[in-house]
Chain A
Amino acid sequence: MAEEVSIDQEVYDRLIAAGTSERIARAKAKAATVRKSKIAEGASLGPRPADQAGKALEEYRSSQGGGGTAVATKTGGDDTGNGGGRLTPDERAARVAASLGTQPSSIGVPAASEHTHRLLALVPPAGIQQVQSKQMDKVYTWPHLLLVEFVALLAMGSLLLIASFFLDAPLGSLANPNQVPAINKAPWYFMGLQELLRYFHPMVAGVTMPGVGVVMLMAVPYIDKNPSARPENRKVANLAFTFFMTFWTILVIIGSFLRGAGYEWVWPWTQGLGFTL
């Protein structure tokens, strides 16, 4: 499937000697090989030098019949010393005005206009939101993440297929509204609620408690203002959530396995499991 790219040994050795990590050196050495092979095929790589670009722009202009002189964009680095090659708003406006020529453009706001905020090109650099995201240790989704996902998918798929081959889904007798079965239970994920119905008025167990529970669950991020995600800094939150989950799990287990005919308490080893999935 994938054609393995050989490593440019010279580049690799140089990078390793310079103290670059093995992974990055390998990637850069591969890139060097590809670049070489592309140059060998006659492809031109990278941006064109400024003088060539300027000439091309000039040709384009004259072919369009427009005025103005071409100004090649500086590529930074060797620049004026104000903020590492960044242009001041005035310089930028001057350049844009020069490149647009003296004729007013047919669309948009003229470069000399006061309404500079209408033109993105004229927004001063300080006005643009600077995103200061930290570089993180990242890997390519393909193949790393997709491979893990594919294996998980296969595992879950085969587990279900095997279960479905050996275990049949239940199918009782025809529904009969006049005949209440001895064991009468909701699906397992609602057994916690059904168990609560034993202890509280239906208004409390069936409406208030699940309603409050869901609202509380949704409100969690707005209640928990602790900025840390480390377990040692959020013992109260973790304890509360563990308590919440354990509470429901116990209710579901009691309702599912320890309740029999007439929803009375039974031990599964005396009267069997009154539970159907």
Chain B
Amino acid sequence: MARKPPSFSDVKTNVQDNVIWKSIFRPGSIYRKGYRDTSRDRALAAMNNVLYHLHPVKVKRHGLKLTYTYCLGGLSFFLFILLTITGIFLMFFYTPAAGAGTEIAYANMRDISASVTFGNLVRNLHRWGAHAMVFTVFLHMARVFYHGAYKPPREFNWVVGVILLLLTLLLSFTGYLLPWDQLALWAVTVGTNMMGYTPVFGEQVQFVLLGGVSIGPNTLLRWYVLHVLFIPFVTVIFLAVHFWRIRKDGGISGPL
């Protein structure tokens, strides 16, 4: 006698109703057995998930309207995550080394474009994603201004936001040098020449950032470390403060 294959719901029940599954998903998770569309479980779904719990359990209704936030802050964060993931992928195939006869960085760029599986797609995603992030961060700032969302008690979070804007620009600008092509070298030359005009310690600033008097192999290594480690690290700290302050200052601003 042939045994009847288990139905989908049987399999689902067996998978969900065991010690391991229950230990992974906290009570109220929509993946846990017995989730019901009630106020209690809706609250637990947000509360008992490490990522969703960035949000409060309840949010002001007017903030849901797409035309209030346009999701710009959320999209900026999403792009930051996407850039981290694609950036880590690119790091596997890139060495920040340049110099006469050993143009490794540039050779790596050509390999990523030509022979690494999905290399070109991931590099494109990283490049376009970076431009998109600068853009969404600018738009997010404009949105916040026009809603007067920096007014008390949110003054300091606006300042944190301006710092995050500067960090975004620095992240993008340090990444601009890494392909080590003519475009990168001269765009960065234009940018860093301005730094030399900083009063009092301009030359010193330029020397430290370039690792010499002009852009060379030292600059590449320095900016690589800044781009993949130092600035993302600082950014994550400010992001944490930014998100935390949104909730401490009473959630999203408004209604107008």
Contact = CB atoms under 8 A, between A and B. Distances in A.
Contacts of B214: 177
Contacts of B154: 221
Contacts of A175: 98, 106, 180-182, 184-185
Contacts of B91: none
B225 interface: no
B181 A172 contact: yes
A45 interface: no
Interface string B102-137: 010010011001000000110111111101101000
A188 B250 CA distance: 36
A153 B194 contact: no
Contact of B181 (A142, A173, A179, A218): A173
Interface class of chain B by DSSP: helix
Contact of B256 (A174, A205, A229): A229
Given A146-B52, A173-B181, A137 B60 contact: yes
B71 A149 contact: yes
B66 to A, nearest CB: 7
A265 B199 CA distance: 30
Interface of A: 1-5, 27, 30-31, 34, 133, 136-146, 148-149, 152-153, 156-157, 160-161, 163-165, 167-177, 179-181, 184-190, 193-194, 197, 202-203, 205-207, 214, 217-218, 220-222, 224, 226-231, 234, 237-238, 241, 245, 276-277
Given A1-B30, A164-B124, A221-B159, A234 B74 contact: no
Nearest to B43: A140
Contacts of A160: 82, 125, 128-129, 132
Given A136-B60, A171-B183, A229-B147, 10 more contacts: A34-B40, A141-B46, A153-B78, A168-B113, A170-B183, A172-B181, A175-B180, A184-B187, A226-B148, A230-B148
Bin the interface of chain B by size.
Answer: 35 or more
Nearest to A168: B124
A223 to B, nearest CB: 10
A218 B162 contact: yes
B35 A174 contact: no
A141 B56 contact: yes
Interface in B1-30: 30
B204 interface: no
Contacts of B147: 229
Contacts of B125: 160-161, 164
A203 B37 contact: no
Given A30-B38, A175-B98, A181 B59 contact: no
B197 interface: yes
B45 interface: yes
B190 interface: yes
Given A2-B37, A4-B37, A146-B52, A186 B45 contact: no
21 contacts: A3-B34, A3-B35, A31-B38, A142-B42, A152-B78, A153-B75, A167-B128, A172-B179, A172-B182, A175-B98, A176-B182, A177-B214, A186-B190, A187-B172, A189-B138, A190-B190, A207-B202, A218-B163, A221-B155, A229-B147, A230-B148
